[in-house]
Structures are given as structure tokens and as C-alpha cells.
Amino acid sequence: MLLFRLLSSLVRHGRLCLIDARGGRHYYGTATDEEAPVTVRVTDPALHWKLGLHPGLYAGEAYMDGTLQMVEGSLYDFISLITRNAGLGHLSPTSAFVQRFGVGVQRFIQQRNPLDRSRRNVAHHYDLSRQFYDLFLDADRQYSCAYFPKPGLTLEQAQEAKKRHIASKLLLQPGCHVLDIGCGWGGMALTLAQMADVRVTGITLSKEQLAVARERAAAAGLDDRVNFELCDYRELPGRFDRIVSVGMFEHVGVPQYPLFFERVRDLLADDGVALLHSIGRMEGPGTTNPWIRKYIFPGGYSPALSEVTPAIEQAGLWLTDAEIWRLHYAETLRHWRERFLANREKAKALYDERFCRMWEFYLVGSECAFRHQGHLVFQLQMARQVDAVPLSRDYMIDAERQRPAGRKTRAA
């Protein structure tokens, strides 16, 4: 049977027991003293061929439907075992074929994000209840990778460190006007305004995020210096001294990269500085996991740097600094996963059991992608002029150490 052959070739390290829909037990891999064995049950006979043919889609759907069940070990134990064995490879021959021969066509279809589609994609994920996101995010509602410069930081401390780290790269000066592309619930914009005497304009396509961000600016007494608008980067007029974008670029799509960086160039002052923070991949161009694309981030894609830097060059921008974060997002997702599971009943009260299973699968799968499958975060600093930033990057370290963390801003 296809599923059994797939698991036999895939699982080499760790021990997996599969209970099939007829009650038969099948064992794969080798037991170790370090890891407890994992046992899963499938209750739908159709999963015998579905999971063997296209596990990237059907495993998540089966877990949502309750036809893929954890018997021994957790969902994290199961997905971690599978992804550790798969590594940067493919879960099935079908996935390998699609990756090899269908990348270009798929990306054009899946990642072509004109304005109307971008609005729908954003609403699908970010217009969920604000109470739901409060169940697992930090108090500032930072829904992007935190920064763990030393062990043992709390999620709140690591998210605060992320914001200070980004601010150190922006070379903020009194009177600067900062543009925050994809401002989320406003935490980055409010933090920058508190750290330095700057004005900030934040733009988002999420009506729910916009409402929360404006409420927070008013509550913090910053609505005279921080302005939030429902606007797309393709529509925005004006020029800005600084541009920052955190966790938005994953929604742009490869076909729009040239336009995105052209807009960054046109919106940036001649002596301005821009900072892009995005998820990426180390193994080269690929495609988005089909389950993630269908249920979590329609139109989304995490690019390889080789797909990003040509568009920066073509736009005539200087790439003045690049930094790669490897396991920081894995640790961020661990915190989110643990908090979500601790508040699972509250999430179920807001939505339902199937939604909770979907969200758990998303958080677990994403964490394992960063631990075992080559996902990373990159920060790219850009400028229009060669001398827009100092010759040595020591200024970043000095600014990060000297700049006070600022007042904590809680979500409204």
C-alpha cells in the first residue's frame, strides 16, 4: 500500500506505529532511549492512499476532521518525527514532482496577488477575533518572530528585544517620518514613536487590525504622532524618511516583488533607510505547503533570498545590511503553541473544535518547519544612497544597548 511504502522509506530515526483503518499495526524506524515512540491511528480507509499520495495536504485535513488521531505522544511529537526524517527533502513522490516541474506555473497562479485578492487573503487570517489572538500572543500582539539574544527570555522580553533590534537598524532621528508597511495591531509603530521623537504612519489591509491599532494609539496618547490607515503599499502616496515592514512580505508573492521594491524606492527619501523583516527558506525557490495555503495563508509564500535580491537590485536600491535568524522563530512558535494549548478551551468557545485542531496543526507544523526544514527569518536593510548608513555596523549594537526599551504598550 502506498502509505506503508512511503513511511518505510521515510522514517529512519525514531519509532512510529501506525494503526490503520482496519486495526492493523505497522512499525517504522528504530526506537531510541532519547525519544518516546509515537503511535497514530487513521480511521478512514481513504487515508491509506490520500496520505501516501499527498500528505502535505491530507494529513492536516485528517487531523482537523478527527480521522488522524494521536494514540501515543502528541501532535508535536508526530510532526517533529516526520519532519526530522524528511529534512529538506519531500514527503512523497508527488511533492517532489510538483516541486521540480511545477514551481513556476504554481507560483504564478497561487501568488498572483492583485489588490482585491490581497484584501481577501488578509481578511481570511487577520480579521479573526482580537480575543483569539490574545490567547497566545504577547501583550503587545507581536505576530512575528521574536528575538532571543540570550537563553531564558520570556516571550514578552524577546518581542521587546526584536523591536529594539529593528529600531537600531533604522537610525531614527528626531522628526523622522516612518512608514510601517503591514502594521498589524500597531505595536511596532507605537514602540518606535515611544522610543524616539518620530511620526509613524502604519498601513494595513485588515479592518480588525486597523480598529485595534487606532484604539491603542488613542489610549497611549500617541494619536497625534501615530496614524493608521486601511491602505495597500501600491496605493500610498508621499515620501518617508524610514520604512519598516515586519511579517508582511510573506503575503506579497514572487510576481509582485519588482513592484514592491519599486514602491519602497519611490516612497523612501533620498537619504532614507528601509528595513524588511520576513520569513524565508534556505534551500532555494519552492512552493507553499498546500494545507497552509488552503487553510491558513492563501496567497502566502516564504521566499529564498535568491528570489528577493534580484528585485532589490533591479529597483536600484542598496542592500546595506543582511542578517539571518535561524531558530528564533522556532522558539517563538514554541511559546505560541504552549500558550494556545493552555487556552484551548477558550479558543473552542470562540470558534469550534475543528478550528482548534486546525490552529494547533498550523502552530506545530510551522515550528517544525523552522527546526527541521530550512525555514528562517531574514532582515534586509536598504537605502537609495550608498552613504545613507555608517560604514561599520557597530552603530546598530551601540544603539540597541543604549536605547531604553520604552514604555510597555498593552493591546487594547
Instruction: State whether 96 and 115 are in the same domain.
Output: no
The string of pLDDT tens digits covering residues 19-70 is 999 999 999 999 877 778 999 999 999 999 999 999 999 999 999 999 999 9
Would 408 be classed as within a structural domain? no
Q: In the chain, which stretches have pLDDT less than 70?
A: 89-124, 403-412
Read off the pTM: 0.91
Query: Which DSSP symbol is given to 251?
Result: G
Report residue 375 CA to chain centroid gap. 10
Instruction: State whether 71 and 139 are in the same domain.
Output: no
Give the torsion sign (CA, 196, 184, 237, 219).
negative
The set of cell numbers assigned to 174 is: 528626531
Q: Which of 407, 379, 410 has the alpha carbon at shortest distance from 195?
A: 407
Would 412 be classed as within a structural domain? no
Would 407 be classed as within a structural domain? no
The secondary structure of 6-18 as a DSSP string is: HHHHH--SEEEEE
CATH number at residue 69: 3.30.1050
Instruction: State whether 331 and 298 are in the same domain.
Output: yes
Instruction: State whether 376 and 276 are in the same domain.
Output: yes
The string of pLDDT tens digits covering residues 194-205 is 999 999 999 999
The reported pLDDT for the residue numbered 74 is 97
Instruction: State whether 10 and 142 are in the same domain.
Output: no
The reported pLDDT for the residue numbered 92 is 54
Instruction: State whether 301 and 167 are in the same domain.
Output: yes
Number of domains the chain contains: 2
Would 410 be classed as within a structural domain? no
In the block, cell 503511535 appears at 39
Tell me how crowded residue 289 is: count the other CB atoms within 10 A of its CB: 21
Instruction: State whether 202 and 270 are in the same domain.
Output: yes
**Is-catalytic flag, 176?**
no
Of 51, 74, 101, the residue that ends a domain is 101
| CA–CA gap between residue 14 and residue 32 (Å, rounded) | 6
CATH number at residue 210: 3.40.50.150
In one-letter notation, the amino acid at residue 192 is L
Would 409 be classed as within a structural domain? no
The reported pLDDT for the residue numbered 88 is 79
The reported pLDDT for the residue numbered 95 is 55
The reported pLDDT for the residue numbered 93 is 57
Catalytic residue from among 145, 183, 356, 368: 368
Instruction: State whether 64 and 141 are in the same domain.
Output: no
Contact 132, 350 (CB under 8 A): yes
Contact 339, 48 (CB under 8 A): no
Instruction: State whether 38 and 148 are in the same domain.
Output: no
In the block, cell 514613536 appears at 193
Would 339 be classed as within a structural domain? yes
Parent domain of 71: 2-101
Instruction: State whether 50 and 82 are in the same domain.
Output: yes
Beta bridge partners of 379: 277, 323
The reported pLDDT for the residue numbered 32 is 78
The reported pLDDT for the residue numbered 113 is 60
Residue 199's SS3 state is strand
Instruction: State whether 223 and 78 are in the same domain.
Output: no
In the block, cell 489572538 appears at 133
Query: Which DSSP symbol is given to 254?
Result: G
| CA–CA gap between residue 219 and residue 336 (Å, rounded) | 26
Phi first, then psi: what are they for 244, rounded to 5°?
-130, 140
| CA–CA gap between residue 171 and residue 272 (Å, rounded) | 9
Of 56, 82, 101, the residue that ends a domain is 101
CA-based angle 214:217:223, to the nearest 5?
Answer: 95
Instruction: State whether 71 and 208 are in the same domain.
Output: no
Of 77, 101, 125, the residue that ends a domain is 101
Pairing of strands 375-383, 240-246: unpaired
